[in-house]
């Protein structure tokens, strides 16, 4: 029963991580559209009464604003302005940085080390982990999650030779943990491919992969 409860909780957490950004985006879109309804009301009155013109025009206006903001932040000045706002304002909101990095990982829009899947050497085993940051001396702060609840676990600071970053999608690593380690062979294969490409020799390692529970 305890394992069943953990399995259900892990599945719910993994699903929430995918659904939450979509839900928040839709909620913000509708909220912004409602706040702009007064601006488009005069135009909406010119259209047929059977058409929900006020709602449609509000959403269109929000999308246009989003498009303009997106174009603006692609310019050097726009990126600099957004970076200042992000650093001075948004990153001070509790949980914002975590949510931002997780969302970027899910969307595949980041190449940095934050929440990058990895295999970490803990005692005599390889364990699935996520890189949180790299220290100035080259060591890594890694989060080693429990299975099947990937958002609970332990934090370790390990030397670079004990942390093996993986070129696999973030969602794939989460799925492996949520499935009690099923699919871990793909993580090991990814590590061995990286070792082979970097050393030019085939990596052969008899260490087991341990999924913490």
Using DSSP, state whether 12 is helix, strand or coil. Answer: helix
Is the per-residue pLDDT at 173 higher than 90?
A: no
Residues of the chain above pLDDT 70, percent = 68
- Mean pLDDT computed over 167-184: 82
Residue 103 inside a domain? The answer is yes
Asked if the model's pLDDT at residue 144 lies above 60, the reply is yes
Average pLDDT, the chain: 76
Could you give the CA distance from residue 126 to residue 123 in angstroms, rounded to a whole number? 8
Q: Answer yes or no: is pLDDT of 59 > 60.
A: yes
**What is the residue range of 154's domain?**
116-199
Tell me, yes or no, whether 174 lies in a domain.
yes
pLDDT, position 30: 77
Looking at the fold, whether 145 and 163 belong to one and the same domain comes out as: yes
Among 25-29, 155-159, 185-189, the range scoring the smallest mean pLDDT is 25-29
Reduce the DSSP state of residue 136 to 3 states and report it. coil
More confident residue, 201 or 131: 131
Same domain, 144 and 87: no
Number of domains in the chain: 2
Residues 50 and 79 in one domain: yes
- Which token pair is 9? 């909780």
Supply the pLDDT for residue 18. 59
Q: Does 90 share its domain with 137?
A: no
Out of 27-31, 94-98, 132-136, 147-151, give the one with best mean pLDDT. 132-136
Q: Do residue 20 and residue 91 come from a single domain?
A: yes
Domain boundary among 55, 88, 107: 107
Same domain, 95 and 126: no
**Measured distance CA(113)–CA(130) in Å, rounded:** 9
């Amino acid at each position: 029963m305890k394992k069943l409860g953990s399995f259900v909780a892990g599945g719910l957490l993994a699903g929430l991580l995918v659904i939450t950004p979509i839900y928040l985006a839709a909620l913000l879109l509708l909220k912004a559209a409602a706040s702009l309804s007064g601006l488009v009301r005069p135009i909406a009155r010119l259209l047929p009464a059977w058409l929900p013109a006020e709602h449609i025009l509000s959403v269109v206006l929000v999308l246009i604003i989003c498009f303009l903001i997106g174009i603006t932040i692609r310019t050097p000045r726009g990126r600099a302005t957004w970076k200042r706002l992000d650093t001075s304002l948004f990153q001070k909101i509790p949980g914002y940085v975590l949510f931002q990095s997780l969302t970027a990982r899910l969307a595949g829009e980041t190449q940095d080390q934050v929440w990058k899947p990895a295999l970490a050497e803990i005692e005599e085993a390889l364990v699935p982990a996520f890189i949180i940051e790299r220290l100035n001396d080259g060591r890594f702060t890694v989060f080693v999650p429990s299975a099947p609840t990937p958002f609970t676990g332990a934090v370790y600071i390990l030397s670079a030779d004990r942390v093996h970053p993986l070129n696999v999608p973030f969602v794939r690593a989460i799925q492996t943990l949520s499935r009690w380690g099923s699919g871990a062979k793909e993580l090991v294969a990814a590590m061995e491919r990286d070792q082979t490409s970097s050393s030019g020799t085939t990596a052969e390692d008899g260490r087991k992969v341990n999924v913490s529970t």
